[in-house]
Amino acid sequence: MDFLGGNILPLDSELKIFLVGIGAFLLLGACFSIISTQKPKDNENPTPIQSLWLFFYSCFLKPHRGDSKNNQQDALESFYKSQAGVYDATRKRLLKGREDMLALAAAQLALKAKAVDSNKNKRTWVDIGGGTGWNIEAMSQFVDVPTFFDSVYLVDFSPSLCEVARRRFARLGWVNVKIVCQDARKFRLEDHEPVHNGRPSSPEASYFSQEQPRHRGADLITMSYSLSMIPDYYSVVDSLTPLLAPNGIVGVVDFYVQSQVDVSFRNYTGGLIDRHVNFLGRTFWRAWFDIDRVALEPGRRDYLEYRFGTVLNANTRNYVLGAIPYYIWLGTRKQPLSSSLTHEIVEKVDALVTESPYLSPVKHSERLSQAIEKGASEIRSKAFDVAIVNLSSNLPLPSFFYQNHHYRIYYDDQLKKHSQFNDEYIYAFTWEDTRVDERILKLKSDDVVLAITSAGDNILSYALHGPARIHAVDLNPTQNHLLELKVAAYQSLEYEDFWKIFGEGKHPDFRALLISKMSPHLSSRAFQYWLSNHRIFTKNQGGLYDTGGSRHGIRIFRWITQVFGCRAAVKDLLTAKTLNEQREVWRNRVRPALLSRLVSKFVVSQEAFLWTALGVPKNQLAILETDHAVSNAVCGPNPTAKNTRSHAIWQYMVNTLDPMVESTHIAADNPYYLVCLDGKFSQQCHPDYLSPKAHARLSRPDALDNLRIHTDEIDEVLARITPGTLTVAVVMDSMDWFDPGSNAAISQITKLNRALKMGGRVMLRSAGLKPWYLKEFAQLGFVAKCMGSRDEGTCIDRVNMYASCWICTKRENLAPPTPPTPEIDSLGGVEITSLKI
């Protein structure tokens, strides 16, 4: 408007129409609201239009200052009273993640129930801010609520919502559900449960009184979108601790906004995948939810994570309604009932990781005193170091300590050496022939094995032989996430589901199985990763084996066969019934395209392709070129053989693929190339760990208790293992990565000598016929023996990707270093434990 000139400028006609429309909508809405509120209060089946209007009016138009008392209950009642009957109908799409939280909690309780006599274990569930009871009824999808729980308490401060809940459970006939309309801070189980005879189970005392609760505690406490609506959340979170049973679970799902900077230095959050919300998102959602007194400040979630130990944590978005951020969190007591028990757990885990003998805390103190007197340094794991730091600071332990299994060893996921992989594994399957490994290693029950994880296939193959311990090592966290997923699947799934996930690489119900079955057997970070990437198994057209860095090589192969018109020939190769038929298809129809000089020069020999698709670093590439040059010099002048990179790569491909195709039947007995060509394994041809027999063995409750998964460099793990305790170390082709002019190889070989028993073996494969570092092994107490070589064009195993395979056996001890240095050589490992040719 222009008041200076005395005239009012006319509004745009479209704006007038818009304003009139808004005014009419509000007027009609107000009239409809008056009419709808005059209907009986017990109407729980309003029309969709009524439901939407009541939701809109209550959330965006009606003030929520309360009617008379001006307290929290009055404000809640002002907000909920008019919409109590339509609450469930209008929150289905808004309050996402409730079923997931309940399923995760039910899975945890079910696993714990197996460890005790279920007939003697009476379970109690307290649902704080339970509202209409929707959560409790929804839990029936996962457990039989009337029989699984002895008592269920719905605690809510809104009389209107509590009344809806009473009618719900009267209709269902669930007599074990009790509705308590009360301030959550004042709820005490001893007011409703029989007094627990004997020693109190809860260690917490009241702030003003030394009297301790006399109940056995709640096995499950849940808060579904209620924490964000409680003004005095500190006291409510504090009240949960004495309410929780010693081994109880707290489950929370709620909205949140948070910057990753806020939590970037915390090691107890259970992982940070998708936790960060950008500035615009944080500002908008805070302002939007503040209209309804829903507080999204990060302090609520932060305090929850500080007061309890994190079991599982997930951050996600409700994309149906504008990508609203919400989180799902499961926790347990911050510390066990006594500090001595805490230290005992830490000591036991530390012993299992370092191969040290486990000593009770008392004996350990005596042993430590003796070690100090002798001036000997004590070996500790990183998990032990961080546990001591957290306990001394009154912080929760890292989530690793609250897992049901201690397979996965603590690591700092925020370090650059781990984040460099950008949350992507390189290999979805392992490129090592387990049959040859089995023949060479002949593992026994007293063996202690250290091996690179890769995709975990070989680790599980070793587990079938039942060694005393297996240390799986990989610097890339996601490679270890993949191994964890396989271990969790063994522990929780039937063979049919296991086969679909890892045999076919696809399962339409993967997400549901992950949450309701596998989650109790996963670490928080691994669970976060697979929840965030569940579409690999459900939406990705190629499934699991068309993912990871190796997918680039597989896709380029498909592109080459498409360009050269031999896709049909590849299918015929996979359906060949005899080895002779396979050879015929290869020689005449596939080989001319795949092994053409053109492809080698412009595609395969490119350094970017070798690194991205095949994981070949420059040092390993140099080994290939050196062997090619030596071969040409030995054979004499040859006009078709040139000392160029493309010729070296072409010759290496020929030496790899020709003997393999000529010697092994891919469809019947070579799963490594079958999965590359077909994108999946078959019931006839697959790795050892995918057999029904392997599943039956490794799905036993204690079958994989001997497994420890380290996310670290090989050097770091070796440095923290008690000397003379390893018997086998499988380093694959990782030593090809070392620079021949550095001390990195000497450093690692020295640590291998220190960690291995006398007679212990190092198994390695190399792209070279006789790799340069064998001389270093010989000088540092080892004797090397060649277990297979391609120098005469032979096929040394079903993969045949390496030029040679070696066993280096320890024959003498090296003098201990003086003084011992905890530092790791700068080239000792940043990437060597994950990638290979």
**Cis amide bond preceding 40, omega within 30:** no
Domain shared by 146 and 218, yes or no: yes
Mean pLDDT of 233-250: 93
CA 595, CA 611: separation in Å to the nearest integer? 19
Q: For residue range 701-748, what is the model confidence (pLDDT) as tens digits?
A: 899 999 999 999 999 999 999 999 999 999 999 999 899 877 999 999
70 vs 94: which has the higher pLDDT: 94
Least confident of 347-356, 458-467, 750-759: 347-356
Q: Answer yes or no: do 298 and 372 share one domain.
A: no
Residue 373 lies in domain: 339-402
| Same structural domain, 221 and 109 | yes
Is the same domain home to 307 and 372? no
Same domain, residue pair 112 and 18: no
Is residue 721 within 8 A of residue 493, CB to CB? The reply is no
Residue 409, CB half-sphere, CA atoms under 13 Å: how many? Answer: 30
596 shares a domain with 674: yes
pLDDT tens-digit profile of 184-222?
989 999 888 876 544 334 444 443 443 445 567 999 999
How much is the pLDDT for 835?
A: 31
pLDDT of residue 262: 87
Could you give the CA distance from residue 498 to residue 209 in angstroms, rounded to a whole number? 53
- The pLDDT of residue 639 is above 60: no
Nearest alpha carbon to residue 762 among 810, 721, 723, 714: 810
In angstroms, the CA 494 to CA 518 distance is 11
Q: Which residues, other chains included, contact 84 with Cβ-Cβ below 8 Å and sequence gap of 6+? A: 132, 158, 160, 161, 163, 164
291 and 350 share a domain? no
391 versus 621: the higher-pLDDT residue is 391
The tens digit of pLDDT for each residue in 13-40 reads 554 554 555 555 555 555 555 444 444 4
What is the reported pLDDT for 825?
Answer: 40
Residue 750, pLDDT > 50, answer yes
Question: Has residue 267 been placed in a domain?
Answer: yes
Same domain, 229 and 287: yes
In a domain, 582, yes or no: yes
Position 74 pLDDT exceeds 70? no
Q: What is the pLDDT of residue 271?
A: 93
According to DSSP, the β-strands at 756-766 and 726-732 are parallel
d(CA 305, CA 413): 18
Residue 721 lies in a domain: no
Say if residue 122 is in the same domain as residue 71.
no
602 lies in some domain: yes
* Number of domains, the chain: 4
User: Pairing relation of β-strands 726-732 and 448-452?
Assistant: parallel
The mean pLDDT of the chain is: 82
When pLDDT is cut at 50, 70 and 90, the band that residue 618 belongs to is confident
Domain boundary among 353, 387, 402: 402
Higher pLDDT, 506 or 623: 506
HSE, CB side, 13 Å, CA atoms: give it for residue 317. 18
Phi and psi, residue 424, nearest 5°:
-135, 130
Tens digits of residue pLDDT in 398-453: 999 999 998 999 999 999 999 999 999 999 999 999 999 999 999 999 999 999 99
- Domain end residue (candidates: 91, 115, 141): 91
CB 478 within 8 A of CB 528: no
Residue 197's pLDDT is what?
Answer: 47
Task: Classify residue 445: in a domain, yes or no.
Answer: no
Residue 291 in domain: yes
Q: Residue 647 above 70 pLDDT?
A: yes
**What is the average per-residue pLDDT within 468-484?**
97
Average pLDDT over residues 649-669: 91
Residue 202 is given by DSSP the state -
Strand-pair category, 218-224 with 244-255: parallel
Q: 510 or 63: whose pLDDT is higher?
A: 510
Is 188 among the domain residues?
yes
Q: What is the mean pLDDT of residues 170-175?
A: 95
Residue type, 380: R
Same domain, 348 and 325: no
Which 3 state secondary structure label does DSSP give 395? coil
Quick: pLDDT tens for 756-808. Answer: 999 999 999 998 999 999 999 999 999 999 999 988 778 999 999 999 999 99
Determine the 3-state secondary structure of 814 from DSSP: coil
Which of the two residues, 424 and 12, has the higher pLDDT score?
Answer: 424
Q: Is 105 found in the same domain as 82?
A: no
Residue-wise pLDDT tens digits, 363-380: 555 554 554 444 445 788
Higher local confidence (pLDDT), 214 or 104:
104
Query: Of 595, 731, 746, nearest to 661 (Cα)?
Result: 595
Tell whether 83 is covered by a domain: yes
What is the mean predicted confidence (pLDDT) over 70-94? 55
CATH number of the domain encompassing residue 232? 3.40.50.150
Residue where one domain finishes, among candidates 279, 312, 333 = 333
> pLDDT category, 464, cuts 50, 70, 90?
very high
CA atoms 186, 188, 192, 195: torsion sign: negative
So what's the pLDDT on residue 195?
62
Q: Give the containing element (helix H, strand E) for 290.
A: helix 279-290
Q: Answer yes or no: is pLDDT of 346 > 90.
A: no
Residue 614 pLDDT exceeds 90: no
User: Taking Cα atoms as reference points, which of 679, 408, 419, 672 lies closest to residue 537?
Assistant: 679
Let me know: does 781 contact 814? Beta carbons within 8 Å: yes
Helix or strand holding residue 761 (H, E): strand 756-766
Mean pLDDT lowest among 113-117, 569-573, 588-592, 824-828: 824-828
Length of the chain equals 837
Query: Does one domain contain both 254 and 387?
Result: no
Q: What is the pTM of this model?
A: 0.84
